[in-house]
Structure 1
Amino acid sequence: MAAGETLTRADLAESIHTKVGLSRADSARFVEDILTHMCESLSRGDNVKISGFGSFILRDKGERIGRNPKTGVEVPIAPRRVLTFRASQMLRDRIVEAD
């Protein structure tokens, strides 16, 4: 995969097919199962940590006052839950090496 390209589910499944030897259908199902499990965990409010890769962390942000930059009018911003990703040190080191 060239730099700047997007890694897709199909790319992940093809990599599993090539490196592990599962059929293409089983590889695709494997990728879907992992992503489904991650989504279900996050929707329950659980964080997801993948050792050596990083953590998907849910944070609750409280209500706050924002400002419309065009008019300057103050607007309340509703409380919400946001998803953040924090790369592991191992991943950060690999990204720096790739530069």
Structure 2
Amino acid sequence: MNKQELVDAVAGQTGTSKAEAAETIDALIAAITTAVTQGDTVQLIGFGSFSIGQRAARTGRNPATGAEIQIAAAKTVKFTAGKAFKDAVNAK
């Protein structure tokens, strides 16, 4: 499902226009992005939580030449599925 299909599904379930559903989805994504970039964890009970994770610096290899390269440490976004979401996925 891509974003447009999600907008169509939300509009169909809520009875709102596709434009309103798109604005709502955009606002939700913006709010989650802002909170996580500020270091907060966003918890949606039954769905899951978004948080920041850390990836340590490491040594990698260039697959073309085999030369070692240093890969810098980075922040990542972690999503942990909630119990209800996991149960729904495993029920099918």
Normalising by structure 2, we get a TM-score of 0.79
1:34 aligns with 2:28: yes
Q: Flag structure 1 segments of 5+ consecutive residues without an equivalent.
A: 1-6
* Residue of structure 1 in register with 2:18 after alignment: 24
In the TM superposition, what is the alpha-carbon distance from 1:74 to its structure 2 partner? Answer: 4.9
Q: How many residues align?
A: 90
User: C-alpha distance in 1, partners of 2:55/2:10?
Assistant: 38
- The answer to whether the Cα contact below 8 Å between 2:39 and 2:51 also exists between their aligned partners in 1 is no
2:12 aligned counterpart, secondary structure: helix
1:88 aligns with 2:82: yes
Q: From 55, 70, 79, give the equivalent of 2:73.
A: 79
In structure 1, what residue type is equivalent to 2:12?
A: T
User: C-alpha distance in 1, partners of 2:49/2:42?
Assistant: 6
User: C-alpha distance in 2, partners of 1:93/1:12?
Assistant: 21
Normalising by structure 1, we get a TM-score of 0.75
Q: Flag structure 2 segments of 5+ consecutive residues without an equivalent.
A: none
Q: What is the RMSD computed on CA atoms of the aligned residues? A: 1.9
- The answer to whether the Cα contact below 8 Å between 2:60 and 2:68 also exists between their aligned partners in 1 is yes
